[in-house]
Structure 1
């Protein structure tokens, strides 16, 4: 090898090391987002985070494309057809927020068999060939009862507001709430409605069930429903119970107003919408040849009485308290740190 070629080789290696380039070149790879639903503020924030992070990744030459696709309704059949379309369009990886943990498995297996990387998040799939990124949603439900046991030790009747029926997230949070009620037996679920993670739907559903309910000590929720519940209680002329919030800006603003007016106390918990950006980087790392565990768990984002103002100040109007992930963050999650 000549001195010049040796220098060129050394320089090339140095560039690779300094740039943090991974095992394989992903600059020509295309990643798609298959999203089953966009009808609430959390989903809008999730899509916005995806757009912010992936546009920069494309501009920086990390990947060739990172295109988002959202189905019109939360229908597994429609999303399965969408995934089959993405296979035909030649994407190298598909990131999925799934309508069902099982109903998409056929389409997901088709993608895997075609050599496409599939990473599911939030609404995950249980097809073994796919990767999954989720918070411990069951714990997200159970922690609400632990909090209520501290704040209302005497217990009481609960109203449960669930999310979208048939979705993995709804089932898991509900199971956690049931687990919490079994642990803290002074509480009883007196009524349950589906709020679809949307304030307007939650408000209407709560208003419909309130006339049939006894006195409610607290409302356990899944996110996107706390403010709607508060408005329903107000309209019915009933005392406002302790309502668990879900990190939406309108919920946090309402909570602050009540806190300032009368010392109202609660907590707020949800998965950060920016988990979509973690899923993007995980897909990129798998395409890059990294060994990645099939199941990754990220912490949920909790807001308490003493952190309310700080979180509200950084949450845009109509948005959701959020965390967006970098490549370095993803590498830490992959490494289990």
Structure 2
């Protein structure tokens, strides 16, 4: 996969508006983002993609106003109240990265009943009236175990680093890890911790559990936690396992350093932060009268041993491997098998 720097992603997002948008009947419409959490690099990059896309759409007269609001630390009750406030403010569409697949459903239904278009992405909601855009997170967990099965055909001890408890993304990736463990019984899960999609939290959590664990051959993760996990093993003086990464520059740079010095091999997978821009365009297009399935699947972004150097080329500090996004990229979305995907 050819990597793009995040700055280049924002530039392409801003410049790639399709000509037929000039005919869009949404010039007077307003769109808001309700985001449940902003405490890691992926979320910051996601918000930056949303901001760049929204500003350009307003400048081009596609919509009248685009805003973003983030709650404190994944609080579902606060996010539900926030959505209710956005309803009262009269937004025509609300895009949601949700704290819970179910806890926001009452507020989501209120928005739909008020004639507001609701598009959830990343952390999606189960309310039927909403649209859902997500990477196949369960399959990303299976893909990690597929990779480890190839690396360790004779078996391996695996540590699982999970994300934020109670969020659908965490549950889905975990279900993929469980399915992979059933598929490959030689891969034994010897411990599980919550890294909260944070390098610092993951390092602390892994450091706390390491003394109770046998030799760990590999670590499966969820994103924004791989580098912190590797640092925990180093600080404990334990051999560095195969850590699966989540496309963050910090992780990929560490991987490259270890590869160049010791031949270290790994694999990296994550959703692209620019999925927020895909969600914006779905909302805008639904407001414009276009029809979409309510469950849509966006492709994962992966980095392999062969594409590591290309993926790092031009990727800035704090960046995440992503793809440029325009309204044309809605064609890349395919119907998802279930609402969970």
Normalising by structure 1, what TM-score? Answer: 0.92
**Shift of residue 66, structure 1, vs aligned partner:** 1.0
Paired residues, number: 319
CA distance in 2, matches of 1:145, 1:331: 29
1:1-337 matched pairs, under 5 angstroms = 19-21=19-21, 25-333=25-333
Aligned partner of residue 306 in structure 2, secondary structure: helix
CA distance in 2, matches of 1:24, 1:312: 37
Aligned partner of residue 306 in structure 1, secondary structure: coil
Aligned partner of residue 307 in structure 2, secondary structure: helix
In structure 2, the CA distance between the partners of 1:96 and 1:190, relative to structure 1 (3 Å rule), is same
CA distance in 2, matches of 1:244, 1:159: 11
Deviations 1:180-215 (A, max 9, x none): 000000011100000011100000000000000000
Deviations 1:62-99 (A, max 9, x none): 00111010001201000000000000111000000000
**Shift of residue 334, structure 1, vs aligned partner:** 6.5
The Cα RMSD (Å) is 1.4
CA contact (8 A) 1:37 1:70 kept: yes
Structure 1: unaligned runs, 5 residues or longer: 1-17
**Bigger shift: residues 55-64 or 322-331:** 322-331
**Shift of residue 22, structure 1, vs aligned partner:** 7.4
Aligned partner of residue 291 in structure 2, secondary structure: coil
CA distance in 1, matches of 2:260, 2:190: 30
- Higher relative contact order structure (alpha carbons within 8 Å, sequence separation ≥ 6): 2
**Shift of residue 332, structure 1, vs aligned partner:** 4.5
**Shift of residue 21, structure 1, vs aligned partner:** 3.9
Asked which structure has the greater CA Rg, the reply is 1
CA distance in 1, matches of 2:334, 2:189: 38
CA contact (8 A) 2:298 2:334 kept: no
Normalising by structure 2, what TM-score? Answer: 0.91
Deviations 1:212-269 (A, max 9, x none): 0000010000011110011000000000010000101100000000010011000000
